[in-house]
Amino acid sequence: MTTRNYVIDEMISAKAIAARVEALAKEISNHYAGTDKLVVVGLLRGSFIFIADLVRELDLPVEVDFLEVSSYGNSTESSREVRILKDLRGEIEGRDVLVVEDIVDTGYTLKHVLEILATRHPKRIEVCALLDKPSRRETSVKARWIGFEIPDKFVVGYGVDYAQRNRNLDHIGAVRFTD
Ligand code: 5GP
Ligand code: MG
Ligand code: MG
């Protein structure tokens, strides 16, 4: 893959992310108070830093599992289906599942992930997404908890990549091409 020249403009600081993660964790902990069967499912790879920070702020017994699906990329298939690249290790039947996603854009990834997980008969599935681009939505899926609504810009950092780079930035930034 050829990468263009770009700079990264800070959009959400590390401090703002930390404060928001703490607030989300409080809401989620209240919501699931008394639940002892919660499994938090991170969608690889973009959510790995978010889920690591989020679960450490949860005041709940949780299990953590991961799912990786293929992105449909620039595929022209109208279905925009996803395939499982790495499945969950554990069973979710009868359990509360919290899916943790980095960004909800068109919503197709989340839609298909929720359909796949629903076939396994969990008790209930909810979604927590760090970032939401509502202006891009093409499906009706909704995340119950959202970190930040952002405009239609290509972002990186805090787990999210551009051509596999910049996942290790401590903040969220917008990519601005300079060529
Ligand atoms: P959707 O299926 O909702 O259109 O997009 C799902 C995935 O596309 C997101 O979970 C994320 O992995 C990727 N994506 C969407 N917007 C961005 C972005 O601004 N930057 C990066 N790096 N990935 C994005
Ligand atoms: Mg993602
Ligand atoms: Mg990516």
Read off the pLDDT band of 2 (50, 70, 90).
Answer: low
What pLDDT shows up at residue 5?
Answer: 94
Instruction: Give the closest residue (by CA) to ligand 1 atom 14.
Output: 103
pLDDT the model gives residue 29: 98
For range 37-60, the mean pLDDT: 97
CATH topology assigned to domain 6-70+81-177: Rossmann fold (3.40.50)
Q: What is the pTM of this model?
A: 0.95
Question: Order of strands across the sheet with 62-69?
Answer: 84-86, 62-69, 38-44, 96-104, 124-132, 145-149
Query: Given pLDDT bands bounded at 50, 70 and 90, which one contains residue 1?
Result: low
Q: Is the CB of 53 under 6 A from ligand 1?
A: no
Residue 78: its pLDDT value, please?
A: 56
DSSP, res 53: H
Q: What angle is formed at CA 109 by the lines to CA 132 and CA 70, rounded to 5 degrees?
A: 130
Active site residue 170: no
